[in-house]
Amino acid sequence: MSEGGIVIVGGGLAGARVAEGARAAGYDGPVRIVAAEDAMPYIRPPLSKEFLAGTGSRDDLDVHPAEWYAEQRVEVLRGVRATGLDVRAHRVRLDDGRDLAWDRLLLATGSTPRRWPGAGADLEGVHLLRTIGDSLALRALFEPGGRSIVLIGAGWIGLEVAAAARGYGNEVTVVAPEAVPLEAAIGPAAGEVFARLHRDDGVDLRLSTKVAGIAGEEGRAIGVALEGGEVVPADAVIVGIGAVPITGLAEAAGIEVGNGITTDAGFRTSEPDTYAAGDVANVYQPFLGAHLRTEHWATAEHHGLAAGRSIAGEAVEFDEPPYFYTDQYDLGMEFSGYGPLMTGVQPVFRGDVPGREFIAFWVADERVVAGMNVNVWDVNEQVQQLISSRVRVDAARLVDPGVPLEALLAGAGA
Ligand SMILES: Cc1cc2nc3c(=O)[nH]c(=O)nc-3n(C[C@H](O)[C@H](O)[C@H](O)COP(=O)(O)OP(=O)(O)OC[C@H]3O[C@@H](n4cnc5c(N)ncnc54)[C@H](O)[C@@H]3O)c2cc1C
């Protein structure tokens, strides 16, 4: 490669791990990360959990200590946005006027929270959560306690923020159109566990309820208007209705985009020398025989390291099952599996569901396609092996806590 080396657009977890993966694979040329945020790469999960709750520190967020970048000769251009891409000429334009040459380019631009699409989105007191600044603003809002907080959306972020807000002693209402929280992610039976968890802690869950708009007075949000006319009073409104991949740069450059930037299992996009990883990448996974895009911390982590090796010239075929975790109140959960294979599948439960200590399995054609362990630890590796090995399982044995998971794996690989 020439002087241009590797340029990574996006200074989040995936971008930082790409740099690490490339160096680990022995790539010795220049590595530059163009990072729109004025921060060294950091992780986001604590922003709705321990950092928001005030129990986690700022240092815990950094992907690498500051000295790592100097040691590894990885230059981070902080507070600089890539604004244009010429894949033929191998150049990327930056908003500070610079124009960088590259030999290989990796897009790790992540995703951005969906804004409230209706009335009131721009009122003061309406919040989204993506950055450290967003989390600090919410923390300042929650800390005094006694406030009325309304969350629009009952997905992971909405529920985690609800738990944090309750932790500071605020009144919390969650409004969402689905009948059960997290229905889209884990289905109604497993979602019900989270509904009970939040109700037990005093959250007012308004499910099967549509929002008509965010009500305001003198430019400030004062409540959330529901379809039907009721207005739930709010000192602050937090919108957690999902995220969209940041694909504008790729699209304008003629790179194939469809639910994120389309790549092969080695993270190559439709254009030569151009790669994508993390939230923004829709990566071909041989296990599925299809492309998959997820917005998970572990995906950014694993994509990043593997894409770094790929970009450095190693042969890479990425095929890890997606992994996700959450912490809410005293519930900790890990999930592994393939969402597309869970459609229409009802989970079976192993353990104590009312006591919130169990593993849920989604089984299709006698094979585990996803598993979720709740307050049960050190089993995720076996759950992932059950999925990846495609071993046939007997459902009665799977749900029997007396049968070790290793025993179910005994036939795998045979
Ligand atoms: C509050 C919160 C809690 C979460 N909790 C969990 C969890 O518990 N478990 C889990 O698995 N996942 C969780 N996630 C998801 C996880 O954080 C993401 O999947 C992960 O951050 C994706 O990493 P990424 O590097 O692909 O993207 P990002 O972290 O979004 O980083 C992309 C970066 O690129 C920058 N960028 C975009 N466009 C440009 C440009 N043109 N030029 C330069 N820079 C650009 C962005 O500003 C951003 O800094 C959470 C996310 C949030 C927001």
pLDDT (tens digit, 9 = 90+) per residue, 125-168?
A: 999 999 999 999 999 999 999 999 999 999 999 999 999 999 99
* Residue 337 Cβ contacting ligand 1 at under 6 Å: no
Residue type, 65: P
Mean pLDDT calculated for residue range 57-81: 97
* Residue 48 Cβ contacting ligand 1 at under 6 Å: yes
Average pLDDT of the chain, as a whole number: 96
Strands (E), 252-399: 261-263, 274-276, 281-285, 290-292, 323-328, 331-337, 348-352, 357-364, 367-374
Nearest to 384 by CA among 400, 402, 372: 372
* Residue 278 Cβ contacting ligand 1 at under 6 Å: yes
Walk me through the domains of the chain, giving residue ranges and CATH numbers: 6-112+244-311 (3.50.50.60), 126-241 (3.50.50.60), 330-409 (3.30.390.30)
Q: Which residue has the tokens 């599948």?
A: 345
* Residue 110 Cβ contacting ligand 1 at under 6 Å: yes
| Ligand 1 pocket: which of 32, 77, 109, 128 to mutate (most atoms within 8 A of CB) | 109
Digit-coded pLDDT (tens) for 90-109: 999 999 999 999 999 999 99
Digit-coded pLDDT (tens) for 307-330: 999 999 999 999 999 999 999 999
Alpha carbon distance 403, 396 (integer Å): 10
Q: What tokens does 225 get? A: 């208007």
Backbone angles phi, psi at 331, to 5 degrees: -105, 125
Q: Find the length of the chain.
A: 414
* Residue 304 Cβ contacting ligand 1 at under 6 Å: no
Mean pLDDT calculated for residue range 363-388: 97
Q: How far is CA 386 from CA 57, 124, 341, 405, 406, in A?
A: 36, 48, 14, 8, 9
Alpha carbon distance 132, 58 (integer Å): 9
Q: How far is CA 248 from CA 14, 93, 131, 281, 360, in A?
A: 18, 14, 20, 13, 38
Q: Which residue has the tokens 């409104």?
A: 237
User: pTM surpassing 0.85?
Assistant: yes
- At 414 the pLDDT is 43
User: Is the separation of the CB atoms in 229 and 203 below 8 Å?
Assistant: no
- At 189 the pLDDT is 94
| Distance between Cα 324 and ligand 1 center (Å) | 14
| Distance between Cα 345 and ligand 1 center (Å) | 30
- At 1 the pLDDT is 44
